[in-house]
Structure formats: C-alpha cells, structure tokens
Amino acid sequence: MTREVEKSYLVARPAYEVIPAVSVAGRIPAMTLLSDRLISGAGNYIEAGWILAMPDPNPHILEHVHDYDEVVLHIGTDPNDQEDLGAEIEFVIDGRPCTITKTSCVFVPKGVRHGPLTWKRFSRPHLEMTIMLGAGSLQEADPGGHQERISHGEKGPGTSGEAGHDRVRD
C-alpha cells in the first residue's frame, strides 16, 4: 500500500483522546479508531476500549443523549464461544433496561436517551466499541463534554504510561 493510500484510508495508529471524567478501575480509556482528524472527511467517529475487570465506579457511563445515531457494540473474547460476552450489563435505553450477556450490537437513534450502563457480573475481559454515525469528531459525538480531554502528548489519568499513547484534542 502506498503512503498516499495509507494516509487516505488506513488508521494505523489510533488517537487516545477519551479520558473518563472520573478514574475508572477495571477499564482502559478508549482509543479513537476513526475521526475526521485521523482520516480527513471520514464523517464518522469510532472508539473502542477494553473492560478488564468489574468497572469501579459502576455505573460510570450515565444517562445521556446524542445529536447523532450511535451504534454500541459489546464484544466477547472467548474464541470457543464468541457470543459469550463474559459479563452481564444492564443498558437502559429510552428508560427501559436491557440485559446484555452476549456479544451484541445496540442501535441508538439520535435524540434517544440512553444509560446508565451498569455491569452486574464480570467473568472475562471484553471490548466496548461505539460508532457515532455522522459525527466526525469527539466534540461532535460528545458535545456535552461527558469525557475529559487533554492536550496532545500528555498522559492522562488511568493510562498505562506506555510509549506512543498520545492524547489528542480536536
């Protein structure tokens, strides 16, 4: 793949711009996998983060609403039973609780209140991924500032301190 093609279509190094407003034990801050900053004109925002243990505080994702459609995926990590999430999550959508125990995809239309997400049980690490359709940046995806942001190159609270984990601001 040529450098020009890579620059236009491939995010080989995600951005680490999402820092929880409070330190959350048991989870790694999400990485941004797609945004207008990473791929010019992408027009969508994707982030993913690992849940490594029962989150504390729990819930740490509270009720909120977006001006964009959102897709929320919870992905299990057992290759012998890829549908088993390894957790039980209560996800409240439009005031109604849903129980998630399997690898799943939730579509949340713009304007629909959702949250909190409460982990009821945890048995194995899993991945949480959100896709904001039509929001090209973290600021568009999270206009209420539910997530704290820090400037490029700083290490945020709860980070591993590993080299190459830059935090960015759009």
The pLDDT of residue 68 is 95
Report the pLDDT value the prediction gives residue 17, as an integer from 0 to 100.
87
Lowest mean pLDDT, pick from 2-6, 60-64, 156-160: 156-160
**Number of alpha carbons in the 13 Å side-chain half-sphere of residue 51:** 29
Whether the CA torsion 49, 53, 56, 62 is positive or negative: it is positive
Q: What mean pLDDT is predicted for residues 2-20? A: 83
Question: What percent of the chain is helix, strand and coil (3-state, nearest 5)?
Answer: 5, 45, 50
Q: What is the pTM of this model?
A: 0.81
Confidence band (pLDDT; 50, 70, 90) for 141?
confident
What is the band of 121 on the pLDDT scale with cuts at 50, 70, 90?
very high
Cα 21-52-79 angle, rounded to 5 deg = 135
Domains of the chain: 27-141 (2.60.120.10)
Report d(CA 108, CA 152) in Å as an integer: 31
Residue where the block lists tokens 């048995």: 123
Of the pLDDT bands very low, low, confident and very high (cuts 50, 70, 90), residue 153 is very low
Q: Which residues contact 144 (CB under 8 A, 6 or more apart)?
A: 64
Give the tens place of pLDDT for each residue, 81-105: 999 999 999 999 999 999 999 999 9
Instruction: Evaluate whether 40 touches 109 at the Cβ level (below 8 Å).
Output: no
**pLDDT tens sequence across 32-51:** 999 999 999 999 999 999 99
State the pLDDT at residue 74: 98
